[in-house]
């Protein structure tokens, strides 16, 4: 008995060490991503902005965009790159995707690759921390808010790494993701930390593995969709200003034009939200079944149950809006952000500030 307790305590310390180590590596990834964006701002990323104006680009028969760029000291140079055209949700703009955070700069791209390598390493270290936390208590590692936080951030990064492995153009997600993960882990180790302990009786069920794991995965995918939606709103406004003949500020020009086109971001956000929505539906159903086993009723209007349903309704409205002509584009994107806000409140607000049968925050 004493030996087992000592072993569990040792595993708990190992888990804490791995979480702090992951934070250190994520910090290196953050600096590398910053270097990628800063070096990329020095390159000729104005090609995208020029392509948005009527007289800036001409397309030849080979499907190549030729853009005239002013050279220092006078004269012009012609840049060529394959035309990547997407159509905005409103149907009135055909614009190319941006060149990426590196902006075509070789050093910027190198730092971007280093950032991805650090992110993958940090993901593996953090996953080890979650695993050792589970071994220290011999149960699923999401019995309180601290464990939920470290698992959630691990899954979110895992979704990002998986998309990269599938050759998806999502490296633009790296900087906001790593920043969010650092904030999430910082909150976990300072405010939400709870020592390893056993579960309350109501959580002793195999439904813990099913219900909570799907909730964590859904939240991670919803987060990715929310970041894409937020960037879509900024990029769409940027494109609209250029199309109207306006001139965005230097910061907006440097950053926003390197992102994918607004239509690409909008499509990506819609696809990830639509793909995970059925799983969120299953999460609520699984929770109701578990409640029936634990408390003898499937639905009791507990705050967690209510806000889970509100989140479901919000995302259902968003998906319905996407199928309604008058609510596409920015209006639908605003609904998506409101829906993710409901999920965040359900995650933090209900668990920490609202008393109910789901009050397992441990803080």
Q: Which are the contacts of 15, defined by CB distance < 8 A and separation ≥ 6?
A: 129, 130, 132, 133, 136, 196
Residue 326 DSSP class: G
Which pLDDT value is given to residue 79? 42
Please give the helix or strand (H or E) that residue 77 lies within, else none.
strand 76-82
Cβ pair 86, 263 in contact under 8 A: yes
Position 75 pLDDT exceeds 80? no
Element (H or E) spanning 68, and its range? strand 64-70
Share of the chain above pLDDT 90, in %: 45
The pLDDT assigned to 62 comes to 42
More confident residue, 281 or 7: 281
Q: What is the pLDDT of residues 195-242, one digit of tens each?
A: 876 666 667 778 888 888 999 999 999 999 999 999 999 999 998 888
Q: How many CB atoms lie within 10 A of CB 79?
A: 16
Dihedral sign of CA atoms 339, 343, 349, 350 in order: positive
Lookup: tokens for 342: 């409901």
Q: How confident is the model at residue 84 (pLDDT cuts 50, 70, 90)?
A: very low
Q: Would you state the structure tokens that stand for residue 279, as one six-digit string?
A: 């799983």
Residues 167 and 26: beta-carbon distance below 8 Å: no
More confident residue, 143 or 337: 337
Alpha carbon distance 360, 123 (integer Å): 26
**50 has pLDDT over 80:** no
Residue ranges in the chain assigned as alpha helix (H): 2-40, 46-51, 106-137, 145-165, 174-190, 207, 213-243, 250-256, 262-295, 303-322, 330-344, 350-353
CB of 177 within 8 A of CB of 156? Answer: yes
Give yes or no for a contact between 163 and 156, defined as CB atoms under 8 angstroms apart. no
Residues in Cβ contact with 332 at an 8 Å cutoff, skipping those fewer than 6 apart: 89, 318, 321, 322
Q: What is the model's pLDDT at position 349?
A: 84
Asked whether the predicted pLDDT for residue 42 surpasses 70, the reply is: no
Greater confidence (216 vs 329) lies with: 216
> What per-residue confidence (pLDDT) applies to 2?
59
Note whether 273 and 336 are within 8 A (CB): yes
The pLDDT confidence band at residue 169, using thresholds 50, 70 and 90, is confident
User: Which residues, including other chains, have CB under 8 Å from residue 167's CB and lie 6 or more apart?
Assistant: none
334-348: average pLDDT: 93
């Amino acid at each position: 008995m004493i030996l087992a307790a000592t072993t569990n305590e040792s595993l708990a310390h190992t888990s804490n060490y791995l979480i702090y180590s992951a934070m250190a590596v994520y910090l290196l990834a953050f600096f590398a991503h910053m270097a990628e964006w800063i070096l990329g701002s020095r390159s000729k990323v104005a090609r995208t902005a020029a392509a948005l104006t009527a007289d800036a680009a001409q397309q030849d028969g080979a499907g190549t965009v030729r853009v005239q760029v002013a050279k220092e000291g006078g004269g012009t140079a012609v840049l060529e790159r394959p035309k990547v055209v997407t159509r905005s949700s409103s149907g009135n703009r055909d614009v190319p995707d941006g060149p990426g955070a590196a902006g075509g700069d070789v050093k910027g791209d190198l730092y971007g690759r280093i950032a991805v390598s650090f992110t993958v390493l940090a993901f593996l270290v953090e996953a080890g921390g979650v695993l050792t936390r589970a071994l220290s208590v011999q149960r699923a590692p999401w019995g309180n808010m601290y464990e939920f936080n470290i698992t959630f951030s691990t899954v979110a990064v895992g979704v990002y790494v998986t998309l990269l492995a599938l050759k998806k153009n999502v490296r633009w997600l790296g900087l906001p993701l790593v920043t969010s993960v650092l904030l999430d882990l910082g909150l976990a180790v300072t405010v939400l930390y709870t020592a390893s302990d056993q579960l309350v009786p109501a959580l002793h069920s195999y439904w813990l593995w099913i219900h909570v794991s799907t909730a964590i995965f859904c939240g991670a995918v919803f987060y990715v969709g929310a970041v894409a939606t937020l960037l879509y709103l900024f990029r769409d406004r940027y494109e609209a200003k250029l199309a109207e003949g306006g001139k965005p500020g230097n910061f907006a020009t440097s950053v926003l034009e390197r992102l994918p086109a607004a239509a690409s971001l909008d499509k990506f956000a819609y696809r990830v939200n639509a793909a995970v929505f059925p799983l969120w539906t299953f999460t609520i159903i699984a929770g109701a079944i578990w409640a029936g086993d634990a408390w003898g009723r499937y639905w009791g209007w507990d705050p967690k149950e209510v806000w889970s349903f509100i989140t479901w309704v919000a995302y259902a409205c968003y998906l319905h809006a996407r199928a309604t002509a008058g609510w596409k584009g920015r209006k639908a994107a605003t609904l998506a952000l409101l829906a993710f806000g409901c999920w965040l409140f359900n995650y933090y607000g209900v668990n920490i500030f609202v008393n109910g049968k789901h009050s397992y925050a441990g803080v």
